[in-house]
A and B are shown apart, each in its own frame.
Chain A
Amino acid sequence: DTGVSQDPRHKITKRGQNVTFRCDPISEHNRLYWYRQTLGQGPEFLTYFQNEAQLEKSRLLSDRFSAERPKGSFSTLEIQRTEQGDSAMYLCASSSASGRNYGYTFGSGTRLTVV
């Protein structure tokens, strides 16, 4: 198992463009989380999937953000009409059903820069 993979590692985009990030979790993990981390801050929860169902979304997830996990495996996070305030590191994490007890495995993140 290669851990949680995120693609791309870095993305520079112009304001107003759409971007999409991909996360491949650990294969046997049925829970998948997206977080956003800005400079000097801790990661902030965005959304959560159990298998293919999106069970929770943070208030941080504006209507320009959408996430999917169509087959309960990989997930995508799309940001439409990007703004400079969207510049951040976007982190994906996965866990088994008992992630509360055993922790969550994070990917290396996708760093988004909106210019």
Chain B
Amino acid sequence: GDSVTQMEGPVTLSEEAFLTINCTYTATGYPSLFWYVQYPGEGLQLLLKATKADDKGSNKGFEATYRKETTSFHLEKGSVQVSDSAVYFCALSGGSQGNLIFGKGTKLSVKP
């Protein structure tokens, strides 16, 4: 079945460092891909999305490109801030009803 694999955390970075969180997927068909962010004590918020190959999703300085040839959707940010500390989930829209299938999440801690 469809699945998402993302890099294990936690990831600890200093402020203004470059961030990459790897995400790869397995899917039949052509899923849409998403990154969600979960701040402590809160629900999931959609960070960015891409609906077809070579699409680039971007939001709040974060970017991810839908790479069909490598089945990847890596999350990047050029300069992280303390406020980016959260858990990041990669997900795909799969299944017969478009259900979201999530990776296990990667916890990011940014130190001042």
Which positions in A face B, CB cutoff 8 Å? 4, 33, 35, 40-45, 48, 50, 55-56, 91, 93, 99-109
A residues in contact with B4, CB < 8 Å? 42
Distance between Cα atoms of A91 and B89 in the complex (Å): 14
| Nearest A residue to B103, CB-CB | A42
A33 to chain B: which residues have CB within 8 Å?
99-100
Chain A residues near B101: list those with CB within 8 A: 45
Q: Measured between C-beta atoms, what is the minimum distance from B90 to chain A in Å?
A: 8
The answer on a CB contact under 8 Å between A48 and B97 is yes
Determine if B105 and A40 form an interchain contact, defined as CB atoms under 8 angstroms apart. yes
- Give the CA-CA distance A33 to B93 in the complex, in Å: 13
Contact call B44/A48, Cβ cutoff below 8 A: no
Q: Are A91 and B99 in contact (CB under 8 A)?
A: no
In the complex, the chain B residue whose C-beta lies closest to that of A99 is: B98
Query: B residues bordering A, Cβ < 8 Å?
Result: 4, 32, 34, 36, 42-46, 49, 51, 89, 91, 93, 95-105
Contact (Cβ within 8 A) B97 A56: yes
Question: With contacts A40-B105, A42-B89, A103-B49 known, is A109 near B98, CB below 8 A?
Answer: no
| A100 and B98 form a contact (CB under 8 A) | yes
A104 to B93, CA, bound (A): 10
Q: B32 contacts which chain A residues (CB < 8 A)?
A: 100-101
* Chain B neighbourhood of A107, CB < 8 A: 43
Do A108 and B42 touch across chains, with their CB atoms under 8 A apart?
A: yes
A46 nearest in chain B by CB position: B99
A24 to B97, CA, bound (A): 20
Enumerate chain A residues within 8 angstroms of B45, measured Cβ to Cβ: 106
Q: Is the CB of B97 within 8 A of A42?
A: no
Other A-B contacts than A100-B51, A100-B93, A103-B34, 17 sampled, CB-CB below 8 A, are A41-B104, A42-B89, A42-B102, A45-B95, A45-B100, A48-B97, A56-B95, A56-B96, A91-B43, A93-B44, A103-B46, A104-B100, A105-B46, A106-B43, A106-B45, A108-B42, A108-B43
Verify B43–A40 contact, CB threshold 8 A: no
Q: Which residue of B lies closest to A42 (CB)?
A: B102
9 contacts between A and B (CB under 8 A): A41-B105, A42-B105, A43-B44, A43-B100, A45-B95, A93-B100, A104-B46, A107-B43, A109-B43
